[in-house]
C-alpha cells in the first residue's frame, strides 16, 4: 500500500509539468459535491442506497483536469435464507442471512474535456471523460444463518483497490456554479462487499452521480479555465450600474400533510408537519434544510398466538411510531430548465406557477410502540437512520411576500423496524403528501425571489425620475420636424445693425440667393423669409445627430440620445465608465452586431444598444438574438424623446 501511495504525487506532478498551462486570466480550482446512485453487480443484490461524494478539482488547462475525491457508502440487505448449518467455506450466498457493510473511498482521477471534439466550445454543456482510482477502507458486519455475526468495530486499515472510468458532463449555471452529471464504472478488487466471499465474483458497480460544482474565486470576467470562452469584458458584478437584476434568495416554508408507510401491517391515517429554510442559488436550483415531525401508524387482524419469530409481520397486531426527520434537499426548477426556447429562460411576464424536482438525503430518529398478537407490548427506538428523498413540488405565486406550495415526497428509509416488524425483506419506506406556504425574505413590490425572475421585472436600482422619463411605454410617435424660427428683424433691431444678425440664417443656406445691393433694402427682403418654412430641402437637418443635453455630463458631443422608441439594451455603464462601455461595444461589434452607445436626458447611465427602431417586432427579434449571443439579461427599453 505504501508503494502505491508514493506513486500518487509523482503522477500528479508529471501531469502538471507536462501540460500547457495557458489560462492566465482564469481561476483553476473548483469543489464538487454530489450524490451517487449505484447499480451493483453483486451476487447478493443490496437495498437501494446512495454514495456521498466530495472532491477538489484543479483545471490544468482547457483540456485537462486532475481531481482528488472522497466518498462514503453503505451496502446492506437481507437474503431471506432460513436458519441452518453453514457450508464448509462459510462464505457462500446460502450462508448469509444479512449484511451491512460500510466503506470510505479516497482517490483521484484525470479528466479530459471533450468540448473541442464535439464542437461545443461556446455551449453551456461540457462533456468529459474520466479515468482514476481509489483506495477503499471497509467496516464489515455480516450475520450468518447459524446466528453468528462477523463484525468489525473499526474501519480496516488494509485498503481495497478500485479502478474507475466513465463519462459525464458539466452544465454552466453562472460564473460561480456548474451542474455536474457523470456515470462511472467501478472495478473493485474484492469479494467482500456483499457479505459473500466464496462466490469468486468481484463486487463491481456502476455509479451515476448528480451534483453541483463551486468554482473558487470565479467571476464573470474571470471564469474557471474550463469556461474561459465565457469571460466578460469588465467587472460587471462590481459595477453597481449593471443590468443584473437584484433578486432575493432566502425563503422559509411550513407545511402539513398526510404520511403513508409502506408496511404489510396496514395503514392508519395520521398527520405530519414540517418546516424548512431555503436558499435559491439562482433561478434553476435551490438548496433547503428541512425538518419534519409526525406519526406513522398501522394495524391488522392477527391470530392470538405468536408464530415463529416475534418480529414477523403476522405477529404484529398494531404499531404507533413517532418520527422526526432532518434532510438536506436540492430543488430543481423544471419550468426554467426546460423552458422554450431553451436559451430564453425568462418569460416576458411573471408566471403563476413553478414546478420543482426534489432530491435529498438525511437522517431519521423514531420510537415505536408495538402490540403483538397475544396483546403483549414492546417499545423500540432507533436513531441516525439514513433517509433518501425523491419528490416533486409546485409553487404558486400569491404576491411578492408569500407563495403557496404543494408537494409529494417519496422517502426511502434504510430501516426494517419502523413498523415494529423487522423480520421482512422490504425496507419501511413512506410517502408524504403535503401543502403549505412559503415566506420570502427581503422582498417587496420592487424585489422578487429569484425563482420568479422575468424579463419585464423593473430594475430597483433605477431612480424614479428616470423611470418616468425613460421607461414610459409608447404606442406610436409621429415624427417631428424641427423648423428654425425666423425672427422678424425689423421689429427687434434697427436697420444699421441688421448686417450682423443676418448670419443667424446662414445654416438654412438661403443667404446666397438673396442679393443685397444696399443695406437699407434688407428690411423689405427679410419679410420674404417666412415662406421658406415649407421648402423641402430643409429636411436635411433631420438625419444630423444632435448631442443630448444632460445635466450630469460635462461633454456629451460624441454621445446622442436614443433615436427611436424601441431600444435593445445589452449593457449599462455609469457616467464615469465611458471607456468600459466603448470596449464592450467594440467587442460585440466584432461578433457581427452594430451596437452604439446612447444616453437619455437626465440619465446617469450610458446604454449599449444593439438596435434602435420604430418597429416593435424587429426589436423583439433583435432582443432574442442579443439574449442568445450576448447576455441573457438584455432588455427592451422604450424611450420617449418628448
**Consecutive sets of 10 residues in the chain, 642 residues long: mean pLDDT of each?**
45 44 64 93 90 94 93 90 83 88 93 88 90 91 86 71 94 88 92 84 92 87 84 48 72 97 92 96 91 95 86 92 96 82 63 93 94 92 91 95 96 92 89 97 88 75 40 45 50 46 46 47 45 47 51 63 91 87 91 90 87 92 90 87 66
**By the 8 A CB rule, do 137 and 155 touch?**
yes
pLDDT at residue 20, as a whole number: 41
Which helix (H) or strand (E) covers residue 13, if one does? helix 2-18
pLDDT at residue 235, as a whole number: 42
Backbone angles phi, psi at 14, to 5 degrees: -65, -35
Pairing of strands 177-188, 160-172: antiparallel
pLDDT at residue 605, as a whole number: 86
pLDDT at residue 642, as a whole number: 62
Which helix (H) or strand (E) covers residue 38, if one does? strand 29-40
pLDDT at residue 345, as a whole number: 58
Question: Quick one: how far is CA 409 from the chain centroid?
Answer: 21
Cα radius of gyration (the chain): 36
- In sign, the C-alpha dihedral spanning 172, 178, 181, 186 is positive
pLDDT at residue 550, as a whole number: 66
d(CA 280, CA 331): 9
**By the 8 A CB rule, do 578 and 606 touch?**
yes
Q: What is the 3-state secondary structure (H, E, C) of 295-337?
A: EEEEECCCCCCCCCCCCCHHHEEEEEEEEEEEEEEEEEEHHHH
pLDDT at residue 592, as a whole number: 86
Cross-strand bridge partners of residue 413: 387
Residues in the chain: 642
Q: What is the DSSP letter of 2?
A: H
d(CA 255, CA 323): 16
pLDDT at residue 149, as a whole number: 84
d(CA 126, CA 114): 7
d(CA 437, CA 543): 57
**By the 8 A CB rule, do 190 and 135 touch?**
no
Buried residues in 483-495 as b, exposed as e (16+ CB within 10 A): eeebeebeeeeee
Taken in order of first residue, the domains within the chain and their CATH numbers are 1-231 (2.40.160.20), 248-452 (2.40.160.20), 468-477+546-642 (3.30.70.1070), 482-541 (no CATH)
Cross-strand bridge partners of residue 257: 272, 434
d(CA 583, CA 32): 35
Q: Which among 90, 77, 80, 76 has a CA at the least distance from the CA of 148?
A: 90
pLDDT at residue 240, as a whole number: 40
Amino acid at each position: 500500500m505504501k508503494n502505491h501511495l508514493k506513486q500518487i504525487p509523482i503522477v500528479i506532478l508529471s501531469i502538471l509539468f507536462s501540460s500547457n498551462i495557458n489560462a492566465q486570466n482564469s481561476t483553476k480550482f473548483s469543489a464538487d459535491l454530489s450524490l451517487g446512485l449505484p447499480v451493483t453487480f453483486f451476487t447478493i443484490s443490496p437495498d437501494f442506497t446512495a454514495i456521498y461524494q466530495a472532491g477538489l478539482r484543479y483545471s490544468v488547462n482547457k483540456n485537462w483536469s486532475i481531481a482528488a475525491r472522497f466518498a462514503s457508502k453503505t451496502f446492506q440487505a437481507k437474503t431471506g435464507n432460513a436458519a441452518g448449518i453453514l457450508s464448509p467455506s462459510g462464505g457462500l450466498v446460502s450462508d448469509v442471512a444479512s449484511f451491512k457493510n460500510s466503506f470510505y473511498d479516497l482517490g483521484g482521477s484525470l479528466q479530459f474535456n471533450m468540448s473541442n471534439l464535439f464542437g461545443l466550445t461556446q455551449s453551456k454543456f461540457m462533456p468529459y471523460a474520466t479515468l482514476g482510482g481509489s483506495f477503499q477502507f471497509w467496516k464489515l458486519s455480516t450475520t450468518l444463518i447459524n446466528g453468528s455475526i462477523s463484525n468489525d468495530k473499526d474501519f480496516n486499515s488494509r485498503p481495497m483497490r478500485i479502478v474507475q472510468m466513465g463519462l459525464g458532463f458539466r452544465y454552466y449555471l453562472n460564473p460561480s456554479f456548474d451542474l455536474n452529471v457523470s456515470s462511472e464504472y467501478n472495478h473493485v478488487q474484492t469479494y467482500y462487499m456483499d457479505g459473500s466471499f466464496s462466490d469468486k465474483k468481484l463486487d463491481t458497480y456502476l455509479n451515476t452521480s448528480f451534483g453541483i460544482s463551486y468554482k473558487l474565486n470565479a467571476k464573470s470576467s474571470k471564469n474557471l479555465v474550463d469556461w474561459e470562452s465565457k469571460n466578460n469584458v469588465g467587472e460587471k458584478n462590481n459595477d453597481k450600474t449593471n443590468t443584473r437584476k437584484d433578486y432575493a434568495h432566502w425563503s422559509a416554508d411550513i407545511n402539513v400533510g398526510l404520511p403513508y408507510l409502506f408496511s404489510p401491517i396496514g395503514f392508519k391515517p395520521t398527520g405530519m408537519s414540517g418546516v424548512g429554510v431555503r436558499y435559491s442559488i439562482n433561478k434553476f436550483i435551490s438548496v433547503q434544510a428541512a425538518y419534519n415531525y409526525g406519526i406513522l401508524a398501522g394495524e391488522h387482524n392477527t391470530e392470538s398466538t405468536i408464530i415463529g419469530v416475534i418480529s414477523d409481520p403476522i405477529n404484529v397486531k398494531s404499531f404507533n411510531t413517532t418520527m422526526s426527520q432532518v434532510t438536506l434537499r436540492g430543488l430543481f426548477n423544471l419550468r426554467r430548465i426546460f423552458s422554450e426556447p431553451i436559451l430564453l429562460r425568462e418569460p416576458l411576464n411573471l408566471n403563476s406557477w413553478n414546478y420543482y424536482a426534489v432530491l435529498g438525503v438525511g437522517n431519521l430518529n423514531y420510537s415505536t410502540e408495538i402490540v403483538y398478537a397475544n396483546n403483549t407490548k414492546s417499545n423500540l427506538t432507533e436513531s441516525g437512520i439514513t433517509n433518501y428523498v425523491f419528490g416533486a413540488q409546485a409553487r404558486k405565486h400569491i404576491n411578492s411576500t408569500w407563495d403557496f406550495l404543494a408537494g409529494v415526497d417519496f422517502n426511502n428509509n434504510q430501516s426494517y423496524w419502523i413498523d415494529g416488524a423487522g423480520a421482512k425483506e422490504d425496507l419501511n419506506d413512506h410517502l408524504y403528501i403535503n401543502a403549505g406556504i412559503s415566506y420570502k425574505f427581503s422582498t417587496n413590490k420592487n424585489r422578487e425571489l429569484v425563482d420568479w425572475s422575468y424579463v419585464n421585472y423593473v430594475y430597483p436600482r433605477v431612480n424614479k425620475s428616470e423611470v418616468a422619463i425613460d421607461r414610459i411605454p409608447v404606442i406610436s410617435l409621429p415624427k417631428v420636424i424641427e423648423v428654425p424660427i425666423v425672427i422678424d428683424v425689423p421689429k427687434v433691431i434697427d436697420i444699421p445693425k441688421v448686417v450682423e444678425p443676418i448670419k443667424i440664417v446662414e445654416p438654412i443656406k438661403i443667404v446666397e440667393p438673396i442679393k443685397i445691393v444696399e443695406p437699407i433694402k434688407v428690411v423689405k427682403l427679410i419679410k420674404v423669409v417666412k415662406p421658406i418654412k415649407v421648402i423641402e430641402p430643409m429636411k436635411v437637418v433631420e438625419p444630423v445627430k444632435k448631442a443630448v443635453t444632460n445635466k450630469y455630463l460635462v461633454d456629451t458631443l460624441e454621445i446622442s440620445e436614443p433615436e427611436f422608441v424601441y431600444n435593445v439594451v445589452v449593457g449599462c455603464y455609469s457616467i464615469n465608465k465611458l471607456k468600459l462601455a466603448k470596449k464592450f461595444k467594440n467587442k460585440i461589434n466584432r461578433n457581427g452586431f452594430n451596437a452604439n452607445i446612447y444616453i437619455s436626458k437626465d440619465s446617469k447611465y450610458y446604454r449599449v444598444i444593439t438596435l434602435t427602431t420604430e418597429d416593435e417586432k424587429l426589436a423583439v427579434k433583435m432582443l432574442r438574438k442579443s439574449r442568445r449571443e450576448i447576455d441573457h439579461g438584455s432588455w427592451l427599453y422604450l424611450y420617449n424623446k418628448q
